[in-house]
Amino acid sequence: MTRLGVVTIGQAPRTDLTPEITALVPEATVVERGVLDGLTRAQIEARPLAPDDHALTTRLADGTSVVLGESLVMERLPGLLADLEHEVDAVLLACTGAFPELEHTKPLFVPDRMIAFGAAALLGDTGRLGVVCPLPEQRRDTEAKFGRRLPAGSRVLTDVCSPYTGTSDDLAAAARRLADAGADLLALDCVGYTERMRARAAAASGLPVVLARSVCVRLASEVLDSLGARTEAAV
């Protein structure tokens, strides 16, 4: 059986995430790790965002959420990834943030590229993509990330609702605003958004909705199936 490492930028276990992952890759064993494992909330909050840092949000092991900077993640992520690769066949980074290139020796699935290119493929040359991101301070990064990958004639619209602190009604309102602004397709740009949230956004907006976690895991499953077949053939 293949082993998929899942790295959250928060803390493991991610009981809000892992069940949906395992349902999509039933033939793989999921091994969870968290960038913030072993840290207290006080230690995390002692590192406020610098003016030029990129804001991220994630879930802690106690079910609460926290806002942190990319700089803290990048201090801890490379070492965690190197250690985890000894235990697994591939790794999924469970965050859609646009991180710098990461060294890796096993297949590494990076959601920010996967959802952006996937949305671009679905949108067409002149469409409008509506993106819901978790934090107001992420809107500029979100527009830049998707804008780099969309056709020149398309446009990115953004709205905000945290998957961790926002309500179902908040998400529905954000989806409706994007639809009213002329979006043709919606993307929920955080691995924290769930299948239930996708359904709520679709019902509220009347638009197709791309969910980061399912896009990434479904593509990863293609590689995992190939790795499993290769292993079986070698036995």
Ramachandran bin of 103, using left for φ above 0, alpha for ψ from -120 to 50, beta for the remaining angles = beta
pTM for the whole structure: 0.93
Q: Are 111 and 95 in contact (CB under 8 A)?
A: yes
Q: Which of 12-16, 32-36, 46-50, 228-232 has the lowest mean pLDDT?
A: 228-232
Domains of the chain: 2-110+214-234 (3.40.50), 113-213 (3.40.50.12500)
- Distances, alpha carbon 226 to alpha carbons 112, 116, 137, in Å: 23, 24, 39
pLDDT tens digits along 2-41: 999 999 999 999 999 999 999 999 989 999 999 999 999 9
**Residue 39, number of CB atoms within 10 A of its CB:** 20
pLDDT tens digits along 98-153: 999 999 999 999 999 899 999 999 998 889 999 999 999 999 999 999 999 998 88
